[in-house]
Structure 1
Amino acid sequence: MRGAAATVYEQAGGERTFTLIVERFYSDVANDPVLRPLYGPDEEELWRAAEHLRLFLIQYWGGPTWYSDQRGHPRLRMRHAPFSIGHAEREAWLRHMTAAVESVDLQPQIREAFLDYFESAALAMMNRADPYASRA
């Protein structure tokens, strides 16, 4: 009998890959005029959020359950509810996350799975209607 199939976490390269993605993403967010204000003036808050994202992604893609062990159920919509997230925030977030994913060496099918997930997640986190966003 063969061993269990490798998780996406393992296929992607494990903890190191997710750390690289999150470091790249938050390095870009730190300088983004749309996203940086969401984290407040405290630099530590930005890097706390980075660690939360890193742990969440590791768990979501089949790695250790460090996120839930520390923070409980992810409840992403609830955790993002205090932040005003409209079209501009979603697009900026997705642009930086796409660049972060593309900055690491991934198998094409894993890269595509990550980008598909982030596209859906970014849409799901929107909580503010932008009346003119769809009018171009």
Structure 2
Amino acid sequence: MNAKTPYDILGDNGVKELASAFYDVMDELPEAASIRRMHVQDLADIKQKLYEYLSGWMGGPHLYHEKYNTICMTKPHSHYQIGERERDQWLMCMNRALDRIDASDELKAMLKEPVFNVAEAIRNTP
């Protein structure tokens, strides 16, 4: 039997909830203000994009790739200064979002390294 993917564990609605919770946390936390300023006021579109990206990244339908013909995350972020501080704020928001949706310890452990690797890949300043 194949190992479960994060998408299998969360399901489509769970991935949507995670994407929404991520931006809700970013919007609410003063500690995330510098990365929040990188986004427009209305977060609805970016919540949808994150859901589409996470869907494929977590082992589900490749919605982002089908829509945008890419899965590259570095180019959309290249015009922002993203250093360790911003990376760590992003990771904090993702960790809090996982808590908010009551993700299992198994899922959190499964995602810890891959999520860090994505955040680190987007970093473009020391």
TMscore range, shorter length:
0.7 to 0.9
Matched, 1:119 2:113: no
Using the size of structure 1 for normalisation, the TM-score is 0.79
Report if aligned partners of 2:91, 2:115 keep a CA contact under 8 Å in 1. yes
Unaligned 5+ runs, structure 2: none
Aligned-partner residue type, residue 128 of structure 1 = T
Gaps of 5+ in 1: 130-136
What TM-score comes out, normalization by structure 2 length? 0.84
The AA in structure 2 aligned to 1:34 is S
Q: CA contact under 8 A between 1:101 and 1:115: conserved in structure 2?
A: no
More helix by share: 2
Structure 2 counterparts to residues 20-39 of structure 1, below 5 A: 20-31=17-28, 32-39=32-39
After superposition, the Cα gap between the structure-2 partners of 1:92 and 1:7, relative to the gap in structure 1 and judged at 3 Å, is: closer
Shift of 1:6: 4.5
**Contact between 1:101 and 1:114, CA under 8 Å: does it hold in 2?**
no
Asked if the contact 1:9–1:61 (Cα under 8 Å) also holds between the matched residues in 2, the reply is yes
Q: Which amino acid counterpart does residue 37 of structure 1 have in structure 2?
A: R
* In structure 1, distance between residues paired with 2:100 and 2:27: 17
Indicate the larger mover: 28-37 or 67-76: 28-37
The structure with the largest alpha-carbon Rg is 1
Alignment-derived partner of residue 49 in structure 1: 46
Q: Quickly say closer, same or farther: Cα 1:6–1:91, change in 2 above 3 A.
A: closer
Say yes or no: does 1:85 pair with 2:94: no
User: What's the CA shift for 1:24?
Assistant: 1.3
SS at match of 2:95: helix
